[in-house]
Amino acid sequence: MNQSFIKAKPILNTLTEHGYEAYFVGGAVRDYLLNRPIHDIDIATSATPNIVQALFKNVIPVGIEHGTVIVVHDGVAYEVTTFRKESEYHDFRRPNEVTFISSLQEDLKRRDFTMNAIAVSNNLEIIDPFNGKLDIHNQLIRTVGSPYDRFQEDPLRILRAIRFVAQLNFSVDKETLHAIDEMKSYLEHLSVERIAQEFEKLCLGQASGKALKLIATYNIHCFLPCLKGYQAEIETIAKLSLTRLKEPHECWTLLLFYINHDPKTFLKAWKRPKRMIKQVETLLYALKREKSKQWDAYLFYSLGWELSQSYITIHTVIHKQSLEVNLRNFHKIYAELPIKQRKDLAINGNDLIDFTNRKRGPWIEEVLTLIEQSIIAGTLRNDKNELREWVSHWHNQ
């Protein structure tokens, strides 16, 4: 048994010893069958939330009205949910009513895809009423029951299906794909935050190019923020070596490099955090001002270690170069920088005021930038006396 399951097994044992059914369910089971790393473990049980709270010492009632609580065991949090049946969805996300039931099969029936509707008992017995294991074997993404019903309940499942294409390199079965094509406009009912979360996961998947191709082919991008009219650009991006990208801000930068859209307006429409917007703007400016294939030492200095590596990665993807070679060259240049950040300077803004007897103002930033550029270029040493002379000369002129 997988170590993650072994650690969680005492929870199942406690529930079954008290006469209740309990199973591992969801993504952990899917990843276990795929021999992928297991992250969060979800447990489904016939015990009601109140009973679960009574059986365990450390319980957090996060979604108790929907049958879900968090059981903390040995410092690890496990989501434990009572078997439930759901009524119609009033907001394309939450059911109008949740009914607790005693049937595992009925509980699995409400899940999105067959590969996520498999349960495993504490002795590794597999319960698979919808042939999810076969679909995993065939690398197929199929909804549990009617795809129209599943997407009507929560249209985010449309993007989730394509996200799983990216993460698992699976294909979508024909009926499910047909429903995606017919119901893609339902994405407009979703919050931007939920869409963005799925889209970022999609872009960082091992088969993200395949997923982006699906988005462009079926015009799903027309119902995503600010992407309508960019089918050709998305298809171009889909052909690149996207697996080199490791961070969301790298994905957004690459996307905006090909899309003629103001980055701040675009990313605000996607409700991305301010820090990420600043990162993307900085990287885009650097990428679009490239004038030669020679690396710019001052550029690496101004970007800093982390953003410089993102810059190298995106540059490599765009120009279809060797990432290993480019990173090696970058590391060499960065290691040889005489200063790595402004605080390494032998002087600061207060020193400039002392040297010149001028009032504080924007000129300080300008002079410090000139000094940094000169030190990086090798025309000035980072020595306080030498810098004092340079500032005096600048001031006199």
**Tens place of pLDDT for every residue, the chain, 397 residues?**
678 899 999 999 999 999 999 999 999 999 999 999 998 899 999 999 999 999 999 999 988 888 999 999 999 999 999 999 865 555 555 655 678 888 999 999 999 999 999 999 998 899 999 999 999 999 999 999 999 999 999 999 999 999 999 999 999 999 999 999 999 999 999 999 999 999 999 999 999 999 999 999 999 999 999 999 999 999 999 999 999 999 999 999 999 999 989 999 999 999 999 999 999 999 999 998 875 556 789 999 999 999 999 999 999 999 999 999 999 999 999 999 999 999 999 999 999 999 999 999 999 999 999 999 999 999 999 999 999 999 999 988 8
Please tell me the CATH superfamily of domain 1-131, with its number.
Answer: Beta Polymerase, domain 2 (3.30.460.10)
Phi and psi angles of residue 264, each rounded to the nearest 5 degrees, phi first? -65, -45
CB 142 within 8 A of CB 179: no
Going by the DSSP 8-state scheme, the letter that residue 271 receives in this structure is T
Q: Is 186 helix (H, G, I), strand (E, B) or coil?
A: helix
Paired tokens of 324: 């290993």
Q: Return all residues near 50 (Cβ < 8 A) that are at least 6 apart.
A: none
Q: What is the CATH number of domain 342-396?
A: 1.10.246.80
Question: What is the rounded distance in angstroms from the CA atom of residue 310 to the CA atom of residue 247?
Answer: 8
Paired tokens of 319: 């120009």
Written as one string, the DSSP assignment of 197-226 is HHHHHHHTSTTHHHHHHHHHHTTGGGGSTT
For 294, counting Cβ atoms within 10 Å of its Cβ (0-12 exposed, 13-18 middle, 19+ buried), the class is exposed
- In the numeric block, the tokens 């540059």 are attached to 315
CB 369 within 8 A of CB 345: no
Question: What is the rounded distance in angstroms from the CA atom of residue 202 to the CA atom of residue 166?
Answer: 5
pLDDT at 63 (0 to 100) = 82
pLDDT at 188 (0 to 100) = 95
Strands 126-127 and 42-45: unpaired
pLDDT at 2 (0 to 100) = 79
Paired tokens of 23: 């199973």
Question: What is the rounded distance in angstroms from the CA atom of residue 380 to the CA atom of residue 134?
Answer: 68
Strand partners, 63: 68
Considering the chain, tell me which residue range(s) the CATH 1.10.246.80 domain(s) occupy: 342-396
Nearest to 308 by CA among 288, 330, 324: 330
Considering the chain, tell me which residue range(s) the CATH 3.30.460.10 domain(s) occupy: 1-131
pLDDT at 293 (0 to 100) = 54
Strands 171-172 and 126-127: unpaired
> How far is CA 99 from each of CA 26, 86, 128, rounded to the nearest angstrom?
20, 6, 22
Question: What is the rounded distance in angstroms from the CA atom of residue 245 to the CA atom of residue 248?
Answer: 8
Nearest to 131 by CA among 120, 144, 148: 144
Paired tokens of 107: 């509980």
139-246 is a CATH 1.10.110.30 domain: yes
This prediction's pTM = 0.90
- Angle subtended by helix axes 297-319 and 363-377, to nearest 10: 70
Paired tokens of 178: 């047909």
Paired tokens of 287: 């990428």
Q: Which helix (H) or strand (E) holds 131?
A: none
pLDDT at 48 (0 to 100) = 94
Starting at the edge strand that comes first in sequence, how are the strands of the sheet with 68-73 ordered?
A: 59-63, 68-73, 76-82, 42-45, 22-25, 119-120, 126-127
Going by the DSSP 8-state scheme, the letter that residue 82 receives in this structure is E
Q: Give me the amino acid identity at 20.
A: Y
pLDDT at 58 (0 to 100) = 94
Paired tokens of 69: 């609580």
pLDDT at 360 (0 to 100) = 93
pLDDT in tens, 87-138: 555 555 565 567 888 899 999 999 999 999 999 999 889 999 999 999 999 9
pLDDT at 214 (0 to 100) = 98
> How far is CA 36 from each of CA 28, 77, 80, rounded to the nearest angstrom?
9, 20, 22
